[in-house]
Amino acid sequence: MDSIPKKQQIAPFLVFFVIHSVQIGIGILGFQREVANSAGYDSWIAVIIATLGTTIVLFIIFKVIELGKGDLIQTHYFVYGKIFGRLFNVVIAIYFTAIVIGVIRTYIEILQVWFFEDLSVFWFTFSFLLLAIYIVNGGFKTIVGISFFSVILPIYVYFTFLFAVPYSDYTDFLPVLDHSLKSIMKASFQLSLSFIGYEALLIFYPFIQDGKKAKKWAHLGNLATGFIYLFIIFISFGYYSEPQLRHIIWATISIWKIVKLSFLWRFEYIGIATWFLVILPNICIPLWCASRIMKKTIKITQRKALIGISIVVLVLTSSLFQTRKQISAFLQLLGNVGVIINFIYIPLLLLLVLIARKVKKGEK
């Protein structure tokens, strides 16, 4: 494992904010439509299953780190050797880059639908990336600071969802288990797409002062994410009917339309603007991960890797994805890849680490 100077490391409790901030982003603004099509009013069970599944993967991630070489980059070298290890590292860097593209393009789509129809994708992406590059160049501790504020400052937004409670009907949640186990598992799979991002722990683990103490904070961050999704599920399905949720693309944003204050009537504008701070770690953390992987893989400075990756993001975001159908297809593909990496590849990697340790021990 790389020896990181102590002044560049973070306290274990800050892992809570990193894990939680990278999981709460664009997905929570419109996940209801997909789960409503699969599990209907039993979707709250799917949230619990998805949270438990993510908890298991987090446990496996810590095992990979402990038994491997401290982070994913060195673990790939340990398992596959130098040549194939570099190949797998590049694949993971591409995955993190794709996350950045998906988050930025989806947020721009929201701005185009709710604010400015003619908003330039190129110039907004360019401005967003300039801010992200500035933050990432400040180092990992700066990114953690942004993650901290992205969790603390927008807390008030969650209380605004309570405006929907007087207009809600929760009797529709009965009877429980009205859908098949297959439908509920399908919904939990779709929810898992919104939870992706926490695998960044495999990259930033060396920057934690005491990794063993960070375990509980990582799991608490994941549980906090599950609680928020569960809260939004109950608010959404109480306020909307199931057929309505099957047609509303941004159900979470639509709930904000009923928030009426004496000094403010269009709270959805405030909510969407506030969400800029929420998704900022969704950009900065994957950018940092991708650039660090490239730094350790092809031996260039992280700043050069960061600029190169940002140029790729700018070009692809502004040229490839123009319609809602294209964006949705890309997000679905990205989510499927994320689930494969988290629920298939990471457990497989743990098995490969155990085999590699046994083989190398036998050689000695």
Write out the DSSP string of 221-251. HHHHHHHHHHHHHHHHHHHS-HHHHTT-S-H
Chain segment 5-17, per-residue pLDDT in tens: 888 899 999 999 9
Best CA proximity match to 352, nearest among 55, 87, 3, 85: 85
Residue type, 341: I
The domain total for the chain is 1
Residue 261 reports pLDDT greater than 80: no
Residues counted in the chain: 364
Contact 181, 42 (CB under 8 A): no
Residue 344 reports pLDDT greater than 70: yes
The answer as to whether 320 is a domain residue is: yes
Q: How far from 200 is each of 19, 21, 88, 96, 355, CA to CA, in Å?
A: 8, 12, 15, 9, 24
Give the phi and the psi of residue 119 in degrees, each rounded to 5: -60, 130
| 2 pLDDT tier (thresholds 50, 70, 90) | low
- Cα 95 versus chain centre, distance: 12
Q: What is the pLDDT of residue 277?
A: 92
Contact 223, 129 (CB under 8 A): no
The CATH number of the domain where 89 resides is what?
1.20.1740.10
Q: What is the pLDDT of residue 48?
A: 92
Mean of the per-residue pLDDT values of the chain = 89
pTM of the model: 0.93
Residue 57 reports pLDDT greater than 70: yes
The answer as to whether 1 is a domain residue is: no
The answer as to whether 114 is a domain residue is: yes
151-185: b (≥16 Cβ within 10 Å) or e? beebeebeebbebbeeebeeeebeeeeebeeebbb
Q: Hunting for tokens 């490391």 — which residue is that?
A: 9
The answer as to whether 319 is a domain residue is: yes
| 219 pLDDT tier (thresholds 50, 70, 90) | very high
Whole domain around residue 273: which residue ranges? 6-363
Give the phi and the psi of residue 89 in degrees, each rounded to 5: -65, -40
Percent of the chain's residues with pLDDT above 90 = 50
CA atoms within 13 A on the CB side of 29: 22
Q: What is the pLDDT of residue 308?
A: 95
The answer as to whether 287 is a domain residue is: yes
| 27 pLDDT tier (thresholds 50, 70, 90) | confident
Q: What is the pLDDT of residue 174?
A: 81
34-65: b (≥16 Cβ within 10 Å) or e? bbbbbbbbbbbbbbbbbbebbeebbebbbbbb
What's the mean pLDDT in 157-176?
A: 86
